[in-house]
Structure 1
């Protein structure tokens, strides 16, 4: 499978894993320290071919993702569930299967500051995805259905708006039988 965009990953093991299954190019962030030079390289890649941010499904990976999205407009984002990218001791893209990596790369979100919200905060609260005993279960259901990675309430709210989903569409997903 040929991937046009350049994939942003954390390290060389992630690059090796992706290149094993896909015809792709990567830029490695080398962990959480994102240098000005690396951010400039990512911006150039975005201008020429587009980029996909595919960081590990952990706190450092989310921080890297947020920093890149804040500095480079219009990045595509791929997410993988933590359960699908782990060993008994480590979490990372390099531990995922080919099938799980492919599924993640088929469900991309594009981050943009310019999108108009389709879901208000009060509508989000009415969905029950934060502040209730079953909120984490509701968030998990939306995250898994939409392939948008694990998140807290505020992050889920942002990602639902990135997808331009409204309250009725979210309710439909939440009400589906498992």
Structure 2
């Protein structure tokens, strides 16, 4: 049984979560979050902790951001768009039980800035993650490696800070990304 309550968007997401793990959920009803839902999430956070597990799309990210802003200290679970895609539909409800368990085993906690040297905008630029051809795809793949999901460059930097991605962890993930995508001599 997962101790924390998992915040999902809808009933189908709850069904998918319960197929994968034993857990309690709170459904947001999509992006139609209301005060009562926020109060239930805040109470769950206070008593048991909360894991936000929304779809890897614009609406899911908007819900994730709204909940995290109103209920500080939540943990975050992410799946990739590929893991969430079925018949042109993106959603947690489409993810395999294995993908859901993997995401829940790799939750991230929001914390203050990491110790040491925090990542900077220049780090993202130097890594080809911002303002470069293909930077969006590189951020998507690096977000998968780091387990922080896909987002724009500004949000990527914020997530790296919020989830305490160390410079060492960032550089290791970047090496892994670059090894995956090293062009062949035939290219």
**TM-score, normalised relative to structure 1:** 0.91
Runs (4+) of structure 1 exceeding 3 A deviation are 114-117, 166-169
* Structure 2 contact 110–164 (Cα < 8 Å) conserved: no
What's 1:62 paired with?
61
* Structure 1 contact 124–167 (Cα < 8 Å) conserved: no
Give distance in 2, aligned partners of 1:97 and 1:107.
16
Select between 141-150 and 79-88 the one with higher mean Cα deviation: 141-150
Following TM superposition, by how much is the alpha carbon of 1:144 offset from its aligned partner in structure 2, in angstroms? 1.7
What's 1:44 paired with?
43
Give distance in 2, aligned partners of 1:136 and 1:20.
33
Following TM superposition, by how much is the alpha carbon of 1:121 offset from its aligned partner in structure 2, in angstroms? 2.5
What's 1:17 paired with?
16
Following TM superposition, by how much is the alpha carbon of 1:20 offset from its aligned partner in structure 2, in angstroms? 2.0
May I ask how many residue pairs the two structures share in their alignment?
176
Give distance in 1, aligned partners of 2:146 and 2:53.
16
Give distance in 1, aligned partners of 2:168 and 2:109.
22
1:148-167 equivalence runs, <5 A:
148-167=148-167
* Structure 1 contact 141–174 (Cα < 8 Å) conserved: no
Question: 3-state DSSP class of the match of 1:24?
Answer: coil
Following TM superposition, by how much is the alpha carbon of 1:168 offset from its aligned partner in structure 2, in angstroms? 4.5
User: Which runs of 5 or more residues in structure 2 are unaligned?
Assistant: 181-187
1:9-158 equivalence runs, <5 A:
9-112=8-111, 114-115=112-113, 118-158=118-158
Going from structure 1 to structure 2, the CA distance change for 1:126 and 1:165 (only over 3 Å counts) comes to: same
Following TM superposition, by how much is the alpha carbon of 1:28 offset from its aligned partner in structure 2, in angstroms? 0.4
Select between 77-86 and 155-164 the one with higher mean Cα deviation: 155-164
User: Which runs of 5 or more residues in structure 1 are unaligned?
Assistant: none
Kindly report the root-mean-square deviation, in angstroms, between the aligned alpha carbons of the 2 structures.
1.7
